[in-house]
Amino acid sequence: MNFIVAVDEQWNIGREGSLLQPISEDLKNFKAKTMNKIVVLGRKTLQTFPGGNPLKGRTNIILTRQEDFSAGDAIICHSYDQLFQVLNSYCSEDIFVIGGGEVYNKLIPYCEIGYVTKIHMTYSADTSIQNLDQKSNWELIKDGVRNHFKDDIYFSFLEYRNNKVLPIP
């Protein structure tokens, strides 16, 4: 399993249900990496998508505690145990965790690769994920070039590898 995320310098990912800084190149990278794959996300993240609809061209697996929740042809899981049962039927390298904060922090230990867009700024935020640079089992394997977005905003595409992946139960 993998995850894909955009973070600022403090590993913040969002504020009030929105991305900190939408960057067109990041969104294109996200689409390219996740197209025709399985994406795992929480209900609140789904509600931030256009129309609150699952992503097209991907198998969407939504985590929610709401028993009566449905979303198009998405697969709905009401617990992590149920999610792990569903994930075991897919090829691990085709699975991408895409948010939000609670889902990332729970599932990152089960991920092998982290695709991180690092925005070289710090934003006011209310949601963050664990800082992989402070985790001994995570290793930076691809340090991307610094790209200019606009004004004084720069970003880099990074890749991390987890050297102690927890097996999906």
| Per-residue pLDDT, 154 | 97
The full length of the chain comes to: 169
Cβ 13 vs Cβ 107: under 8 Å: no
| Per-residue pLDDT, 117 | 98
Calculate the average pLDDT of the chain: 96
Tokens describing residue 118: 């690092």
Residue 120 binned pLDDT confidence (cut-offs 50, 70, 90): very high
| Per-residue pLDDT, 16 | 93
pTM over the 0.75 mark: yes
| Per-residue pLDDT, 85 | 98
| d(C-alpha 98, C-alpha 132), whole Å | 16
| Per-residue pLDDT, 168 | 92
Residue 14 binned pLDDT confidence (cut-offs 50, 70, 90): very high
- How many CB atoms are closer than 10 A to CB 88? 10
pLDDT by residue (tens digit) across 57-108?
Answer: 999 999 999 999 999 999 999 999 999 999 999 999 999 999 999 999 999 9
Residue 27 CB partners (closer than 8 Å, separation 6+): none
Average the pLDDT over 28-34 and give the result: 98
The DSSP line for 94-157 is GEEEEE-HHHHHHHGGG-SEEEEEEESS----SEE---GGG-TTEEEEEEPPPEEEETTEEEEE
| Per-residue pLDDT, 42 | 98
Q: Domain-by-domain residue ranges, the chain?
A: 2-162
Question: Does the domain spanning 2-162 belong to CATH 3.40.50.2300?
Answer: no
Tokens describing residue 47: 């509600």
